[in-house]
Structure 1
Amino acid sequence: MAHGTAADILITIKKRRMKTNKLYIGLFLLMAVMGCKKSELEQSVPDQLTVDNFWINKDRALSGLSAAYSQLEGFVGWDNYVEARSVREFYREDYVVPGADAFNYPWWTEHYNFEFTSGNYAVDLLWRENYRGINFANQVLENVGKMSAAAIDDAGRKQILAEAKFLRAYYHFKLLTNYSKVIIRDKVPTSEADLSKGFSERAEVYGFILKDLQEAEPDLPLRSARPATELGRVTKGAAQAYLGKVNLYRVSDDQANAATYYTEAAKWLEKVILSNEYQLDNNFLGMFNGTTKNSTESIFELQQTSDASSGAVYRSYLSDWVAASELGGYGEIYGTPALLTEMLKEGKIANGNYDVRVYQTMYFNDAYFNDTTTPRVYGSTYNEIFGATAKTIAFRKWIPAGPDRIGFSNAINVPLMRYADVLLMYAEVLNEQQKSGDAVTWINKVRGRAGLPGVSLSGKAPVFEQIIHERVMEFTLEGSRFYDLRRWGLLAQKMQAAGRKFSADKAFYPTPLKETTNNPSTP
């Protein structure tokens, strides 16, 4: 069950560095303490960390917070991450197909075929690791608030608590978007009753998430106020962006109150825009190949590093999975002809090429990639790599700038929330509020970054279709498509069009078997 035993709470915390802040080795002991019986805690062991003697100063508070951040990575195996994105998550999208090697891993292809069950390893992993993140956040919230004024300054305390609240909300939202039934964990479990807590109503979980985000937002700094040593930590803009996103996603759960949620979503997304803290990055590809980290477009980004000097090595496996076998990767995932058709449907622009986002998202057999004067596939042409008659649609997103970095040693950051997403969500909200003309303004802003002319559209339906298209152009292979189709009510239709196996009961993951077995309140 989630946090069911001391073993669940006692985890191997990796040495994550939030730039200047490292996890203390003592956190290993702290997690053990959290799983101990009261009688064990009462024994006097001078050199052992306890709840009382760990939370003694700001550095320790930051270490506890770092543990909560560490679950954004949540690495428990070469093919299993909580949030670092994986082909497993992408397989539920309609525009991808598995590569040959993927069939060696049935717990992956079960996602592509929508055959996953409650016993699927990845279904259990996502549940377990997100609840661990929640547990860490709860430890911060319960203990930092009790620290004395002498131990931590008031401003520092407020900011740390705000970050922990954001992370607790984030992990709950990740669970809510993947499982139809989840459990609100708002405190560190201390009794069997806590551990055996039952499911919460989805409306209640949405309310809990929004409350945490709203309470966090005032005490979080603007991006511009964060020093370079704190890149990757939560900002006010991140809280506002997710307040917009959570409200927008809530519409599909409660259509009767859609107008209220659209109003709230617009309010928070507007705050991000009016803050002038973010702008679209003209180097689109750089955000996904490691050359541009924490760009002006980044609102919330998972940090990766291959610098082992501090013991904090966080590396992405994505390039090895996503890169075609012809490029030195395992070739676990490829695009479909339907994806290429969608991305090319507006035709070529004035420079004789297609939308730049097409070329920066994937490699395909086209004059652009076969230009011998400017070889664009790692110094070669597409034909030289894949063959003159090949129809392979190989992804370029998540592939490092140099072929020598394909593999398990690259450190490509993972953008979790981009300004482009804020603009397109805002356009979607405006369109739903019958403000299609205003929505087009923000659509065109995103298109402008790609060097495209603006579109002239009127009416809700045409604007909505354009938003669908723009989200494909922007967010292919970023883990957005499946959730978009589901909340729009288009999932079954699009899967059928793609010739995929799908049934309505696979729109969400089932509760993991381990949870239903160990927790009598989760039948």
Structure 2
Amino acid sequence: MKSIIRNTYILTIALMAVLASGCKKDMLTVEPPDKIRADLVWQDGALAQAFVTDIYNGLSVGGFSEQMLSSVSDESLFTHPNRGIDLVNASTINPSTLGWVDDTWAYAKMYNRIRACNMTIERLSGSDNGLTDQNLKDQLLGEAHFLRAYFYHQLLRYYGGVPLITKVYGLNDDFRIKRSTYKECTDFIVKDCEDAQRLFVGKTMDKGRGSIIAALALKSRVLLYAASDLHTKSKISTLEIASAQGFAEALPLLAYDDNNQTQRWQAAKDAAKAVMDLGTGYKLDLSAPVSAAAGRLNYKSLAMGGGSKAPGMDAAAASELILGRYFIDRSDMRFGRANGPNGYRNWAGNTPIGLLVDDYEMNDGTKFSWSNPAQKQNPYENRDPRFYATILYDGAGWKPRDKVVGGVDPANQIQTGEYDLMIDGKLTTYKGLDTRSGPIESWNGSWTGYYTQKFTDPDPNIVEASNPQFIPWPFFRYTEAVMNYIEASIELDQLGEATSWLNKIRFRAGMPAVTATDKEGLKEVYRHERRIEMVYEEQRYHDARRWMIGKTTLGRKTTYIKVSGKFKPGKTMLNLYRYDPTIYDYTYTPTTETAQENRVWLDKIYFRPFSRDEVNKNTFLVQNPGY
């Protein structure tokens, strides 16, 4: 009560002072202490820069959301129910029930950020602003063009052609606007990238912000998508949705005419080469494979983006990042917590599925097969080195578990199976610590029998679920541009060039040179390589769609692994389990499961639906076919 009286007293004295100074008409015309007038923002460099910096929040945490895009692809399974991912994978989403929608591509949220970009471009391009620092003005304009291009590219690759809005609407404006064609949207984004590139010339940009090479990387991706089969009239017309009501009307919104696909592939190749010429990448100058151990460290270093202090991590891998989302001091950036093993008190969010694990080659470049008896008996031996930097499997070494849950696992190994164990002199079937039947947070256990370690800092000092990590999210990295260049080269029958660069990527990972020599064989190798190299980087979902292979990839039933360890004759282990093939005979059983989610592919899922609310607000908005 005393504090209330004191504050009231002070306020009364302040009002009396105002009255004593004389009655003025504008005595109550004061600036709100927590607000800044819009016109003042564009007259002050610091305020204008703060406004543009805030637009970057539209990038959110990149792909580090708790629910990841990998789980609507054949990379991972989302462990927790009732989040809407299962609706996407079952092809049951519709304009009334959208299923999972992430903030980084949500329709309304993208347009809110586009509006901020438009406002920046309007205010800084006009002559009525008071910003006199031309260098800063050009930088901010460049960032606004780049960010607008990025947000439109997000909309384009999920929805197809969308309304192109380049002005700031007033309250009395007509908000109805038609969708632009796929070509018009692509051209618009490319122009924004080129405008950004021009405005960035001579500017030294902080990491995490737009730049010349980031604008070129975005242009490269957009032109690669534009050249792809999903956006070519004759190819998309072979899909089941071609018979859906409204397909003919929607076709220009989704695809180009047929007669210029080769031209588009050439444009994609040229755009990718521009990125390659400007950047350096990481260890892409090799003429022979590095060792398996070096390949694993190279790949893990790439995933860390220079943000880990763990032994063996190479900070030089940061040169690979073209645009990253950096976490300087973000307490909720705990990728390991969201996705790590439940036996370390983590949440097992997006766990690798068997379809992904099985696609990792043997380290001699041959395919892995469960039909091969030797490989089935030891499925995790002699695999692509990137496998060991990406997947946590039964028996894999991991971090010191005693820092989290005490001395229950002196060997510090992942336990996703069930094993014979002598406990108090009795033979027991022991459920592993990292299973859904284990003694530690069983509800957070993996359904698939695997966990991911990519993007998880291997530093053994970062163990507890409460520890944040500072690994950047790679919006664009140099290897993506190289991959784009390889794909376009293959499509243009320039196979030698494609093979040379494919080998450079594989050599860095400790894998042998490719052996395919014909176009179709090389295309298959390339698609495999892109899948493995860029796993969990929000590439596979879009790649499978633009290649029009959704039914045979994204639509496959998920596969799990069941692991069993039985004592060898005359062998036992007491009380505490550890992986030991001298004591146990291990059995690995791939299993197709539909209990957690039943994946069904319908071709309408190649494009997201517009929500019913958006269609009601904008009656010119043509719905995508199949919805």
Say if 1:181 and 1:202, in contact at 8 Å, map to a contact too.
yes
Name 1:267's counterpart in structure 2: 270
1:132 aligned residue (91, 97, 112): 112
1:337 aligned residue (354, 358, 364): 354
Residue 423 (1) aligns with residue 482 (2): yes
CA distance, structure 2, for counterparts of residue 232 and residue 294 of structure 1: 16
Name 1:399's counterpart in structure 2: 456
CA distance, structure 2, for counterparts of residue 314 and residue 56 of structure 1: 34
Once the two structures are TM-superposed, the CA of residue 458 in structure 1 deviates from its matched residue by 1.4
The C-alpha deviation readout for 1:345-378, integer Å capped at 9, x for no partner, is 45589xx843221111111136xx3xxxxx4444
CA distance, structure 1, for counterparts of residue 455 and residue 102 of structure 2: 26
SS of the equivalent of 1:123 reads: coil
* Equivalence map 1:478-493=2 (5 Å): 478-493=537-552
Change (3 A) 1:150 1:517: closer
SS of the equivalent of 2:474 reads: strand
The C-alpha deviation readout for 1:89-141, integer Å capped at 9, x for no partner, is 22210232232xx11x3423223333223333643851122222211211211
Change (3 A) 1:94 1:335: same
Residue 55 (1) aligns with residue 58 (2): no
Say if 2:279 and 2:478, in contact at 8 Å, map to a contact too.
no
Q: Which moved more, 1:132-141 or 1:89-98?
A: 89-98
Name 1:508's counterpart in structure 2: 607
Say if 2:118 and 2:168, in contact at 8 Å, map to a contact too.
yes
SS of the equivalent of 1:257 reads: helix
Name 1:477's counterpart in structure 2: 536
Change (3 A) 1:416 1:176: same
CA distance, structure 2, for counterparts of residue 457 and residue 110 of structure 1: 39
The C-alpha deviation readout for 1:437-466, integer Å capped at 9, x for no partner, is 110111111112112222233121111111
Structure 2, unmatched stretches of 5+, are 1-27, 232-255, 285-296, 309-314, 367-380, 402-409, 420-431, 433-447, 559-598, 623-627
Say if 1:92 and 1:114, in contact at 8 Å, map to a contact too.
no
CA distance, structure 2, for counterparts of residue 124 and residue 400 of structure 1: 24
Say if 2:55 and 2:117, in contact at 8 Å, map to a contact too.
yes
CA distance, structure 1, for counterparts of residue 185 and residue 327 of structure 2: 30
Change (3 A) 1:408 1:141: farther
Residue 328 (1) aligns with residue 345 (2): yes
Residue 175 (1) aligns with residue 159 (2): no
Runs of 4+ in 1 over 6 A off after TM superposition: none
CA distance, structure 2, for counterparts of residue 485 and residue 344 of structure 1: 20
Provide the TM-score with structure 1 as the length reference: 0.78
Say if 2:338 and 2:348, in contact at 8 Å, map to a contact too.
yes
Say if 1:304 and 1:315, in contact at 8 Å, map to a contact too.
no
Once the two structures are TM-superposed, the CA of residue 314 in structure 1 deviates from its matched residue by 6.7
| Amino acid in structure 1 at the alignment position of 2:620 | S
SS of the equivalent of 1:455 reads: coil
1:195 aligned residue (149, 153, 175): 175
Say if 2:200 and 2:212, in contact at 8 Å, map to a contact too.
yes
1:257 aligned residue (244, 260, 276): 260
Say if 2:42 and 2:130, in contact at 8 Å, map to a contact too.
no
1:161 aligned residue (141, 144, 149): 141
CA distance, structure 2, for counterparts of residue 510 and residue 57 of structure 1: 42
1:284 aligned residue (299, 308, 312): 299
Structure 1, unmatched stretches of 5+, are 1-42, 74-80, 307-312, 370-374
Say if 1:315 and 1:409, in contact at 8 Å, map to a contact too.
yes
Name 1:442's counterpart in structure 2: 501
| Amino acid in structure 2 at the alignment position of 1:273 | M
The C-alpha deviation readout for 1:139-162, integer Å capped at 9, x for no partner, is 211112236796332222112111
| Amino acid in structure 2 at the alignment position of 1:337 | G
Name 2:204's counterpart in structure 1: 226
SS of the equivalent of 1:467 reads: helix
SS of the equivalent of 1:452 reads: coil
CA distance, structure 2, for counterparts of residue 108 and residue 157 of structure 1: 42
CA distance, structure 2, for counterparts of residue 209 and residue 314 of structure 1: 34
* Equivalence map 1:289-368=2 (5 Å): 289=304, 290-291=307-308, 295-306=318-329, 313=330, 315-347=332-364, 353-365=382-394
The C-alpha deviation readout for 1:280-300, integer Å capped at 9, x for no partner, is 496432444541598100011
SS of the equivalent of 1:516 reads: helix
Once the two structures are TM-superposed, the CA of residue 400 in structure 1 deviates from its matched residue by 3.0
Provide the TM-score with structure 2 as the length reference: 0.66
| Amino acid in structure 2 at the alignment position of 1:245 | R
Residue 68 (1) aligns with residue 44 (2): no
Say if 1:323 and 1:330, in contact at 8 Å, map to a contact too.
yes
The C-alpha deviation readout for 1:416-449, integer Å capped at 9, x for no partner, is 1111111111111111110111101111111121
Once the two structures are TM-superposed, the CA of residue 181 in structure 1 deviates from its matched residue by 4.7
Change (3 A) 1:192 1:183: farther
Residue 110 (1) aligns with residue 126 (2): no
| Amino acid in structure 2 at the alignment position of 1:354 | R
CA distance, structure 2, for counterparts of residue 381 and residue 181 of structure 1: 54
Q: Which moved more, 1:160-169 or 1:129-138?
A: 129-138
CA distance, structure 1, for counterparts of residue 538 and residue 411 of structure 2: 29
> How much identity, in percent, do the aligned residues show?
21
CA distance, structure 2, for counterparts of residue 297 and residue 364 of structure 1: 28
Say if 1:294 and 1:301, in contact at 8 Å, map to a contact too.
no
Say if 1:302 and 1:414, in contact at 8 Å, map to a contact too.
yes
Once the two structures are TM-superposed, the CA of residue 513 in structure 1 deviates from its matched residue by 2.7
Residue 146 (1) aligns with residue 126 (2): yes
CA distance, structure 2, for counterparts of residue 268 and residue 376 of structure 1: 41
CA distance, structure 1, for counterparts of residue 195 and residue 331 of structure 2: 30
Once the two structures are TM-superposed, the CA of residue 194 in structure 1 deviates from its matched residue by 4.7
| Amino acid in structure 2 at the alignment position of 1:144 | L
Say if 1:300 and 1:415, in contact at 8 Å, map to a contact too.
yes
Name 1:30's counterpart in structure 2: none
Say if 2:495 and 2:519, in contact at 8 Å, map to a contact too.
yes
